Every structure is written in C-alpha cells, then in structure tokens.
Structure 1
C-alpha cells in the first residue's frame, strides 16, 4: 500500500505557459510527534525528500538525486515493508481532503521527536487556491502517503510554527483584486482549519493584506505567543488592537525593517506589555514613544531587546533615551542588542546617576559597521551592575580601552568581540594604538571561549604577554575561537597559544605580517590548526 501511494504521487508532469513566478517559502515546525506518523517507525533520524523542478515555460523535468535511502513506513491494514525510494511529485492536489495546492514543491520531512516541513512554491496558474502569495498546505504532501498520514496531516497539532513569505508572480506586476481575494480566502481557511494551536507566526516581505492576516490569525489562535512581521508595510493600529484583544499569550514581537503605525504598537505595549518577553524593532524618527513606553515600565518582564538601524541610510543613529530610565523600566533584561545604534552621550551624562544597572544582563551587543563614539564611561553606565554578563560585542567601538573593559564587574565573560572591521574610507581609520591587553586576558583567562581582536593595534610584546596569560591559565582548554586578523602577533606567541589551547577549533590569522607566508589565513578544525603548529616550529 505504501508503494502504491508512492506510485500515485510520482512524476505527474505539468507545464505552465506563463512560466514560473518568484519563490515563496512556508515553514511549519512541529514539536512532538503524531502517533499515526510514528507507528511502526524506527525513530532514528530518517527523511523523505520530494523534489520537483519546473525548468521552463513548456517543459517540466523532474530531477531526483538519492544520496541515501529514504524510508516510508505506512500502517494501514497491515504493516508495510520499508520502501527505499526518492519520489518526484509535480502535483500536490489533494487526494482525500479539500486543501490548497500548488506546483513545484521541495519538502523535507525529518522524523524523530520533531517533524519539520519546508515548502517552496512556484507558478501562478498552478496554484489552485492562491496566486500572488503561494500559501499551500504543506502537509498535503504528507497526506499523499496513505490515509492515516492524510488524517495526521490535518491535525492542528502539527501546525505550531508557520512562516509565510511573499511570492511575486511578476516583479513589476501589482496584485489584482481577484488575487487579493484569494489571498484572504486562503489565510482565512488556514486560520480556521489549521491554526487553532498555532504559537509562532511569521510574515515576511508582505506589502498588502498584513492587517487582514494579523486580525484573522489573532482571532483564531488563542495560543499565539510569537509574532514576526519583518519587512512588512501597511500595519495599522487595527492589527495591534486585534492582538491586544485576542492574543493574551503574546510574548514576542518582531517589527524589524517594517513600516507600521507607531501609536498602535505603543498602545499594545501599554495594554499587553506585562507579558512581553522579547521585542525587536528598527529605530526610526517616530519610535521615541516606543522607547518611552519601555522606560515607563510597560514591559517589566522584558528579557530580550534588540534595536537596529537600517545601514542603507548610512552610519549609525543615536538612541534618545536615558539609559538609567531604561534600566528602571526593564530590570529583568538578559539580552540587550544595539546594532548600528549608540546611546546618546549627552543624554546619559546629563541624567541623574543611578545604581540600578541591568543585574540579570547576560549579553550586550553594541556592534557598529562604522566608528562610534561609545566610551568607557558609556559602557560603565550600562554594565555597572551586571555581574552575570557572558557575551560582550563591541565591534566598531573605537574608544573603548582595555583598562576600561578590565574594570567591568563581570568575572565570567565567555565571549568578547572587539574587532574593528572598517575600510580605509573610515574617518577613524586606522584604529588607535592599544595597550594593556594582558589585563583582559588575565582577568578572564579561565572563562573566555571566544576572543576577537581583529585589526586591534596592540604591540607585539603586549600580544605575547596577553596570549601568555591565556596559555598558562589553569583551564587552558576553554578557548574555542581566536581571531587575530590584522594584528602584530608573532610566531612564537601564536605557537604557545596553539600548544596549550587543545580545544581551539577556529583561528584567524589573515593579514598578520609577522607570520610566514602561506600561513596567514583562516584555520578551521584541529587538523588545520595542528598543521599550522608544525609549520611554525
């Protein structure tokens, strides 16, 4: 019976006289497993890959490459023998249930304690339900195996995480009213028939119907905990109002690179902010009210905050916020990321001194793609009460000094990224001369797992002394990754750290002028690093 199902799904060729459109991706991740999918199955990680490639307007060729055996076990009336087959399917029209369908599907099923389904859909005309955005029922492919799999695929328990990417049929062609109606019908069908247990929902690059999608999903998914609207436009206050009224379990919001009504999002933070744990957004000229809401304590349990800046606008931006007010409003923050965003220095220094800090902070990222004015004082204001800090990313922070870092209260820092990655067009290039690196390595020699010092102009003697502290540490096997690109590291100092750091599996020594020719590259894995050690003897 299993082989019969495979034959029915194999190589039904179709052609599209209008040619394939752009690509859309749906990802459905299911935590747990369905009994119909695992009965009689060895729970080792096995998979079925179904490939279909539409090559041109009039010719459809199916190409299958079977690297390892694919096992399909069906339990219907009797237990079928394991079938080793790689099936090529061109039609995903349903066999037993009315479901959306589309052509040109690449789907991977991984069976163990998790089922992961990825669908890539093409072609305007072959999408029976929708054209402009190709949202197909990915589990309809599973339902073609046998009737039990069809029943299992229809279970809302398999739809926990869904990602919808927009599909452009023609790059310059706008959506027709008929297309928009099909989009709404499909979203409505999915929300009512499949999404009752949905927890994570993502829309990427949607320009229209975002409000409708958010409203329908929020009304049909009472368990919704995570919402990602990246690169979307046209999100109004009505969508945020629907979330506030219908999504009491919402804990994560991602609005990066999207255009939305700031007032509506700020109101959502005020009404439902008590349950928000994760918040990501791109800073803009009108986002001050979001920062004000955070500073006033609208999200007292916030643990993850990421604010970035669109680098296409150039440089970096200053964040107009009192850091002490943010520390007061978000005392439970564990991860704080400022990507191409710096704290306004005048704002910080004119504020009243507060000793609140971020007592639970474990990760701080202040990386920029151009030189920024962040100083030791600014860093101290952020981390004066953060003894649990594990990850510190200061790439691009020119004016941070080694003594300033060594004065921080964290004693168990595991990852320090302090490289400078600017080009010669940068106003602050080359980086300023450095000294006292050994103070850092002496303090964190037992805990450092990753160290990035790319293009830092420490002297040869300072580097040798600093790496000596790492090599002579009681737990010298802690270091996993070391980036010394563009530094003045010498061969003897490098040889010492390689000999003592037995767990080192990444070493970047590109553009290190003091090393012999042929060795100035990235070395990955123990074998390559051992070969480098031999070459340095």
Structure 2
C-alpha cells in the first residue's frame, strides 16, 4: 500500500527536525530555525545532512563509488570545528559581555552554554547576569525557577525586571541572595506581600530605582521601604495602585528623597478627592527632579503667600510634567489648576514635555507665562477648547522647537494648524489628530511645512474620506502625500 501523505497540521512538531515542506514523494525537508526567537540549538547533530538524502535519490543512475566519493568530499567540506580558538578566557568573557550588553543574558547564555564545556563555564559567570529581564517568556514564571536563578546566577545582579510575575515568598528569597540590586521592576506583579517588600528594604542597601505600578503594595509597606532607602532612591513609580489609602502620608515620605529624579504617582485609586501637599517643601527637598507624572488625580497646594511662592527654588531641572485628566470629568477648578501649575512650573526653564490632556481649558492662562522657551512635546488633546487669539500665542511661542503635538479630539483644530504653519518650515516629527475636524487643505499645508514629519495619526477624522483615516508612519508619509495629491481640490 502506498505511503499516505500527511498535511502539515497533522505532523507533530519535532524541534530537531522542523518541517518546512513536503515533497512529492513524501520526504521531509528540515528548515533552518536559527533565527527563530524560540529556537534552541540541539546538543546533537544529525549524522548526515538532509540534503544528502535527496542527492542519493537524484543520483540513482550514477556509479555507486563515484557517488560515495562525492558525498564524502562534500561531508568533509561541511565539517565544523567545535573547539574554541586559542584565545584567553578573558577575551572570550569580554566578547560575551559585549553581546549581553546589547541582547541581554537571555536567551543568549542559555544557548551558548550548549556549545561546549568552556562556553558553559563562561555562561555561568556572575558578571554576565547583572541586568536581567525575565518578562519575555525565556524563563517559565515559576518561583522554583526564580529561586534557582538567585542561588546559581544572580549573585551580582544589579537590575532585575520581574514584571507580570506572581510572587509570594520568592521575592524574599531573591532579595536575600541578590544584595546588590539597584533597580527592581515589580510592575503588574501579583501576590506581592508586605514581607517581600520588607525584605527588599532590609537586604538591598543600594536600591535606587523601584517600580510598583499596578500592584497590591500598601501605603505602610511603601512608606517603610522609602524611609529605609530614601538617601539613594532616584526613581519611584507607584502609578495605577488601588491600595494606597494613606497616600498623603506616602507623599510626605517621598519628599525625603533628595536624589529623586523621576516620580510617577499617576492614576491612583482610593485617595482623597483632592490630594493636598506642600509644593514649596517638595521643591526644596527634591531639587533634582526631572520627571513628574501625576495624571488622573486632583491636587492642591498648601496655602502660601505670593512672596513665599516667588522665593521658592522651584524645579529648575524639570524636563517632563504630566498631569492629564483622562477620566472624562474635566471639572477641576480653574483656581486650583492655576495654583498647582504655576507653583510647580514657574522656574522650570528646561521643560521639554508637557502633557495637559483634558485640562487645557483650565490651564491656558498659566501656560502663557511659563518660562520654558524650547518645549519639544505638547499634549493638549481631549479638550473642547476654542482657539481664540490669546491662546494662539502658545503655538507661536514654541513652533520653533515642537517635535510632537497631540491635538486628538480637539475642535476647531484648523486654527491651530494654520497658526503652526504660518511661518517657515517646522521641526515637527509627530502629530496626533485623532477625532479632530482637520480638512484636506490644512493637511496639505501641514505636510508641506513639516519635512521631518514621520508620524501622522488621522483615525476618526470625520472630514476625511474613509481610505485616508488611519495611522501613517515613516515611509507611509509618502503614501499619504500621494493620496492627498490625488484628491485634487477636495
């Protein structure tokens, strides 16, 4: 009975013999998966290349001795030497370090250790495991695996990313075994226990960067951690947390971190309607702050006289300030907005990124007097504002430096586009116009005046035809220009 052919879906996957194609005679052709992200090289090599089997079938009419001679010569020419070249171990270690600095230790080191015994020994060197990202699935998310890694590989680890892991007792184990940790990312981690956070605070004396976004960390645990490590902490991210009921107490503790450069306290739940804090004391205690994100919550500054505000140090190094309201409420009182915005930004000359989506109507008065002269990224979407003459000055003020603009869901956006394009060419690279009422004539002018534009978002723009309304990036910008040109005078 002839051999029955089987479809690709009916063949069980064999990692040593990946099936690329079924020939007419039913033979299997192995494919080369060496560039596959999931590929793991086998310790065993096939005794004979698959191509030689096909060669034998094609050479049935040839003399058998001649065939054997040809195949032997070809086999010798394909031999690969698995011995290491005569290089000192220090050189090989430097090569491994260079690779790891670009690709990370995983999965490179797991594959390299299968090449030979020397490479296996090199792959276990602790210096190659100082920065480890365990979020991509190269390692199974099991606490037993994390324990083994901490005991056998991570003794010198300084930077570890455990985002999306389920942790209970494993965090205590890894902090005990890895005392040199400086950066710890625990975002989206489940079963984050107070004991684990306490262990992190007690054992990792060099801690500088912590991320607890979207976790179950409590105010008490977070406060204890910051109080023990405040002298070295440079970055704190506790955004999207639901259990920081005593957040005002946590914020007072954060103000002790004199080296703090990045703080993200966005989208917190179960906090007071208005979080009140001493803005001037915050500026005095954290003078090196460069990034401040505090969106989707409402803030008030403790009462101060005008003289006290003017004499405050401000945040002179602040480069990014983000305080959007994406909740759809947009009802924060104008007086409070002006007070908070002005007191935080009145001495931030280096400001580059400003995100006030959903709060534009409340903040234009203070934006007009900001000292920042070279803003590069402005996000003013999700607003029902009308661009009157007093507000057009914002675009004239920063048109020479703006590289990114977000005007999503803004009405009367054509006035902003006309103001932006009223002068010489712009350095603009990205623009968000989702849901806006931009028209073709303004889009043509924008494309003409922005030669560096490489990102245009036109989804849900009701004045454009269906084939135009999508995202355009890089080479697609040329496609957009051709489409606009083909529409003629529309």
TM-score past 0.5 threshold: yes
Question: What secondary structure does 1:399 align onto?
Answer: helix
Matched, 1:417 2:370: no
Contact 1:191 1:221 in 2 (8 A): yes
Separation in 1, partners of 2:136, 2:454: 39
Q: 1:87-486 counterparts in 2 under 5 A?
A: 111=99, 114-116=102-104, 118=106, 139-164=109-134, 183=143, 186-209=145-168, 212-282=169-239, 283=241, 284-295=244-255, 298-309=256-267, 318-343=274-299, 347-348=300-301, 350-352=303-305, 353-354=308-309, 355-370=312-327, 371-374=329-332, 375-420=337-382, 431-436=384-389, 437-458=391-412, 460=414, 462-463=415-416, 465-469=418-422, 472-473=423-424, 476-486=425-435
Separation in 1, partners of 2:143, 2:463: 61
Separation in 1, partners of 2:365, 2:488: 32
Question: What secondary structure does 1:482 align onto?
Answer: strand
Matched, 1:522 2:471: yes
Q: CA deviation at 1:271?
A: 2.5
Partner of 2:452: 503
Q: CA deviation at 1:267?
A: 2.5
Root-mean-square deviation over aligned CA pairs: 3.7
Partner of 2:62: none
Question: What secondary structure does 1:292 align onto?
Answer: helix
Alignment deviations for residues 166-196 of structure 1 (CA, whole Å, 9 cap, x no partner): 99xxxxxxxxxxxx9x945x44432232112
Partner of 2:65: none
Q: 1:37-52 counterparts in 2 under 5 A?
A: 48-49=35-36, 51=38
Separation in 2, partners of 1:110, 1:318: 49
Contact 2:105 2:129 in 1 (8 A): no
Separation in 1, partners of 2:273, 2:445: 42
Between the two structures, name the one with larger relative contact order (CA 8 Å, sep ≥ 6): 1
Question: What secondary structure does 1:267 align onto?
Answer: helix
Q: CA deviation at 1:396?
A: 1.9
Separation in 2, partners of 1:464, 1:207: 48
Distance change (3 Å), C-alpha of 1:204 and 1:484: closer
Separation in 2, partners of 1:227, 1:73: 42
Greater CA drift, 521-530 or 158-167:
158-167
Distance change (3 Å), C-alpha of 1:50 and 1:338: closer
Distance change (3 Å), C-alpha of 1:364 and 1:166: same
Contact 1:241 1:268 in 2 (8 A): yes
- Structure 1 unaligned runs (5+)? 1-7, 13-45, 54-71, 80-108, 120-137, 168-179, 422-430
Question: What secondary structure does 1:507 align onto?
Answer: strand
Whose strand fraction is larger, Structure 1's or Structure 2's? 1
Distance change (3 Å), C-alpha of 1:276 and 1:392: same
Contact 1:523 1:529 in 2 (8 A): yes
Alignment deviations for residues 77-111 of structure 1 (CA, whole Å, 9 cap, x no partner): 569xxxxxxxxxxxxxxxxxxxxxxxxxxxxx995
Q: CA deviation at 1:385?
A: 1.0
Q: 1:76-91 counterparts in 2 under 5 A?
A: 76=83
Poorly superposed stretches of 4+, deviation over 6 Å:
none
Whose helix fraction is larger, Structure 1's or Structure 2's? 2
Distance change (3 Å), C-alpha of 1:77 and 1:438: closer
Contact 1:207 1:234 in 2 (8 A): yes
Contact 1:361 1:388 in 2 (8 A): yes
Q: CA deviation at 1:536?
A: 5.0
Question: What secondary structure does 2:472 align onto?
Answer: strand
Task: Give the alignment's TM-score, normalised by structure 1.
Answer: 0.64
Rg bigger for which structure? 2
Contact 1:452 1:484 in 2 (8 A): yes
